[in-house]
Amino acid sequence: MPQSADRILDHAPLFREPEYTELLARKRENFECPASTADIEAQSEYSKGWEYREKNLAREALVINPAKACQPLGAVFAAAGFEGTLSFVHGSQGCVAYYRSHLARHFKEPASAVSSSMTEDAAVFGGLNNMVDGLANAYSLYDPKMIAVSTTCMAEVIGDDLHAFIETSRQKGSVPQEFDVPFAHTPAFVGSHVDGYDNMVKGVVEHFWEGKERQPNDTINIIPGFDGFCVGNNRELKRILNLMGVKYTMVQDASDQYDTPSDGEFRMYYGGTKLEDVAAAVNAKATLSMQHYCTRKVLDYAADKGHMTASFRYPLGVSATDELLLKIAELTGAAIPEELTLERGRLVDALADSQAYLHGKRFAIFGDPDFVSGVTRFLMECGAEPVHCLATNGTKPWVEDMEALLASSPFGADGKVWQGKDLWHLRSLLFTEPVDFMIGSSYGKYLERDTNTPLIRLAFPIFDRHHHHRFPLWGYQGGLRLVTTILDKIFDKLDADSNEAGKTDISFDLTR
C-alpha cells in the first residue's frame, strides 16, 4: 500500500507507484485493445518527419490546437475595462460559463458576466424575451453602472437585432431610460477574440460619442488591446504617461478589475475607465492603440471623429518603447523626462550584460498577431533570431507587416511567418526545423513535451504558472522583466544540460 498518513501521495507520485503502474499495464493489455507498440513507435517517428509535415501543412479543413479564441471572449475582456460594467452576452448560457472560466483561470481572479440563457424556444422565436428579462434581472441583482451587450454565435445565426431588442427592453422598463447599454455583435465564426475586443470597445465609444459635438482638447486616448498582461502593462503605461505629464484617457483598462486585493471584500466591479471619461474622450486630440490588430475598427471610428490615430504592435524592448514615447511626445508636446532616459539606459545595460546568451538563439513565437510582432522585434533587437512566427488569428496584412519587420534586420533572415496555422502545424515545424526556445502561452507545454523545445510563457492564456501577468512587459521597466524571463529559461536549460555529475558537469559553471 503506497499511501500513508505520514507521507500522503497525490496523483503525481501515486500513479508512479508499482501498484498503479502494474494496474495500468494490465488495463491496457487486457481491456483497451490498444494499437501495437510497434505501430505507435512507427507513427510517433513518422509524425516527426518532413512527409508528415507536408501532409499536416496541407490541411484545409481540420484545425488542431489553435492559438485563438472566439469574439465574445474579447468582448467580455473589453467590458471588464470600464467602470462598473457588467458583461451581458446574448445567446446560449454555456458560452458565458466558458468565458468566465477561461479568464478566471488565467488571472486567478473573479470574472463576472451574465447570459441571456437562450434555449430551443428562443432559437425558434428569437431572443427578445431573454433580453428583456435578462436586462431586468442583471440590473436588479448586480447594480451595474453600465451593461455591455455582446453575442454568442447562436444569437448571430438566428439574426437577433441587439439595438432593437435593447430599446424594447428599455421601453418595457428592464433598465432606466438613460441607463447605458452599449452593444456589439460578436459572431464567433468571424475573426477571433481580438476582433471581439475591437467590436466591443467600438460599441462602447460609439454609444458615448455618436451624435456628440467634438470639442477638441489636448488629451490623448490610449486603447491597450486584448492583453493577458494588462494588469502589469497598463499600470506601467500609466506610470510612464504620468512621468511625462501627459493628459490621457485609457479607453478600456482592466488592470484593476483583474487584480483585486484580498481583504475580505469581493469587488465585482473595480477600476476601469470612468464612463464620464469615455464620453469626454471624444474630444481628445488623438487616439493611440497599443495593439493594431485589436483595434482596427475602433481606430477607424476615432479617425472619423477627427482624432489623429496611431497604432503600435505590442511594443516591447528598447526601440519599440522609444517609438511609443516619441509618438506621445510628438502628439502632446511633452518632453521625455530624464527618469525615463535613465530607465532606457538601464534596459540597454541589461541587454549588453546578457547579449552573449541571447545572440544567435533561435526562437519560435506564437500568439496573437500584435504579440508575435512585438516579440519578434524585441528578439531581433537582442541579436536573437525569430524563426517560426505563428498567429492562428493572423491576417494577410499581418503577414505583410511581419515580412517587412523580419526584412528590417539581419537577425530576421531565417524568420518565416505562419498565418492561420495552429499548434499542431507548429509541432511539425519544430521537429523539422528545430529552434532553441519557444515563446507563447501555456498551450505550448504540449509542444515542449513532444519536441523538447523549452517554453517561455509570455502570452495569454497562462494557466499553469502564477502571477506573471501582474508584472509589466511594456516600457523599459517591462523590458527588464521580459529579458529576465527569457534569460532564466536560457540559463535553466544550460544548467539542465550540464548537471549530470561526472558526465556532463564539466560546464556546470557557477558564474554565467
Partner 1 sequence: MSLDYKNDGAFHEKVIEEVLAAYPEKFAKRRRKHLTVAKPVADASETAEDGGTVTECSVKSNIKSLPGVMTIRGCAYAGSKGVVWGPVKDMVHISHGPVGCGQYSWSQRRNYYTGTTGIDTFVTMQFTSDFQERDIVFGGDKKLVKIIDEIDTLFPLAKGVTVQSECPIGLIGDDIEAVAKKKAKEIGKTIVPVRCEGFRGVSQSLGHHIANDTIRDWVLDKKESDYEPTPYDVNIIGDYNIGGDAWASRHLLEQIGLRVIASWSGDTSLAEIERAPKAKLNLIHCYRSMNYICRHMEEKYGVAWMEYNFFGPSQIAASLRKIAKQFGPEIEEKAEQVILANQPLVDKIIAKYRPRLEGKTVMLYVGGLRPRHIVTAYEDLGMKIVGAGYEFAHNDDYQRTGHYVREGTLIYDDVTGYELDAFIQRVRPDLVGSGIKEKYPVQKLGVPFRQMHSWDYSGPYHAYDGFAIFARDMDLAINNPVWGLFDPPWKAKETPVLEAAE
- Told to check if 33 binds partner 1 by CB under 8 A, we report yes
Residues 210-269 close enough to bind partner 1 by CB under 8 A: 260, 262-268
Q: Residue 43 CB, nearest distance to partner 1 (Å)? A: 5
Helix (H, G, I), strand (E, B) or coil at 88: strand
163: which 3 cell numbers? Answer: 439595438
Q: In one letter, which amino acid is 191?
A: G
Of these, 123, 336, 350, 399, which contacts partner 1 (CB under 8 A)?
123
**Whether 157 is catalytic:** yes
Q: How far is CA 143 from the centre of its chain?
A: 29
Binding mask 321-360 for partner 1 (x = CB under 8 A): ----------------------------------------
Chain residues 466-485 in contact with partner 1, contact rule CB under 8 A: none
- Interface with partner 1 (CB under 8 A), residue total 109
Cell of 478: 517591462
Nearer to partner 1, 130 or 249 (CB): 130
Residue placing its CB nearer to partner 1 in the complex, 13 or 345: 13
User: Using CB under 8 A, which residues numbered 370 to 409 contact partner 1?
Assistant: none
CB of 62 to partner 1, least distance (A): 4
User: Phi, psi at residue 371, to the nearest 5°?
Assistant: -60, -45
The least distance separating partner 1 from the CB of residue 16, rounded to whole angstroms, comes to 11
Selected from 16, 29, 40, 217, the binder of partner 1 by CB under 8 A is 40
Work out the burial of residue 197: count CB atoms within 10 Å of its CB; fewer than 13 is exposed, 13-18 middle, 19 or more buried: buried
The full length of the chain comes to 512
Local structure of 10: helix, strand or coil:
coil
CB of 168 to partner 1, least distance (A): 14
- Binding segment toward partner 1, per CB under 8 A, in 10-18, 302-310, 401-409, 470-478: 10-18
Burial class (CB in 10 A: 0-12, 13-18, 19+), 123: middle
A 10 A CB-CB count for 358 gives 19
Where in 75-104 is the site for partner 1 (CB under 8 A)? 88, 91-95, 97-102, 104
> Which residues from 437-466 bind partner 1, rule CB under 8 A?
443, 446, 450
3-state secondary structure of 180: strand
Considering only the stretches 117-125, 240-248, 355-363, 472-480, report the one whose residues sit in contact with partner 1 under the rule CB under 8 A.
117-125
Element holding 250 (H helix, E strand): strand 248-250
Distance between CA atoms of residues 427 and 444, nearest Å: 10
Q: Smallest gap, in angstroms, from Cβ of residue 229 to partner 1?
A: 18
Distance between CA atoms of residues 28 and 161, nearest Å: 53
Question: Which listed residue (63, 157, 348, 399) is catalytic?
Answer: 157
Angle at 456 between CA 452 and CA 461, to 5 degrees: 110
User: How far is CA 178 from each of CA 170, 171, 208, rounded to the nearest angstrom?
Assistant: 9, 11, 12
* Minimum separation from the CB atom of position 394 to partner 1 (A): 14
Evaluate whether 241 touches 224 at the Cβ level (below 8 Å): no
The sign of the CA dihedral 202, 204, 210, 215 is: negative
User: Contacts with partner 1 in 150-179 (CB under 8 A)?
Assistant: 152-154, 157-158
Task: Give the residue, chosen from 126, 136, 172, 416, that forms a contact with partner 1 under the rule CB under 8 A.
Answer: 136
| Span 263-322, contacts to partner 1 by CB under 8 A | 263-268
Give residues 191-210 in contact with partner 1 (rule: CB under 8 A). 192
Binding test (CB under 8 A) with partner 1, winner from 188, 223, 240, 351: 188
Output 96 or 278, the one with its CB closest to partner 1: 96
Q: Please pick, from the candidates 141, 164, 303, 496, the single residue that binds partner 1 as defined by CB under 8 A.
A: 141
**Best CA proximity match to 456, nearest among 386, 381, 408, 409:** 386
The nearest distance, CB 397 to partner 1, in angstroms, is: 18
Residue 49 in 3-state DSSP? Answer: coil
Q: Per the structure block, which three cell numbers stand in for 367?
A: 500568439
Which one of residues 85, 116, 150, 273 is an interface residue with partner 1 (CB under 8 A)? 116
Please, which residue, 44 or 341, has the CB nearer to partner 1?
Answer: 44
Distance CA 221, CA 241 (A): 11
Task: Work out how close the CB of 422 gets to partner 1 at its nearest, in angstroms, rounded to a whole number.
Answer: 9
Q: In angstroms, give the least distance from the CB of 256 to partner 1.
A: 14
- Is residue 367 within 8 A of residue 441, CB to CB? The reply is yes
Residue 31 or 502: the one with the smaller Cβ distance to partner 1 is: 31
What is the spatial distance between Cα 239 and Cα 189, in angstroms, rounded to a whole number? 38
Binding of partner 1 by 64 (CB under 8 A): yes
Q: Which of 89, 153, 246, 298 is catalytic?
A: 153
Catalytic annotation present for 294: no
Candidates 166, 347, 427, 492; binder of partner 1 (CB under 8 A) is: 427
CA distance 50 to 512: 37
> Which letter, b or e, does each residue of 241-269 get, where b requires 16 or more Cβ atoms within 10 Å of its Cβ?
bebbebebbbbbbbbbbbbbeeeeeeeeb
For the record, the C-alpha cell of 383 comes out as 541579436
- CB 99 to partner 1: min, Å: 7
Quick check: 4 binds partner 1 (CB under 8 A)? yes
Q: Is 27 in the site for partner 1 (CB under 8 A)?
A: yes
**Residue 16 binds to partner 1 (criterion: CB under 8 A):** no
Q: Which of residues 63, 243, 279, 350 is near partner 1 by CB under 8 A?
A: 63
HSE of 241, CA atoms in CB hemisphere, 13 A: 22
Residues with a known catalytic role:
153, 157
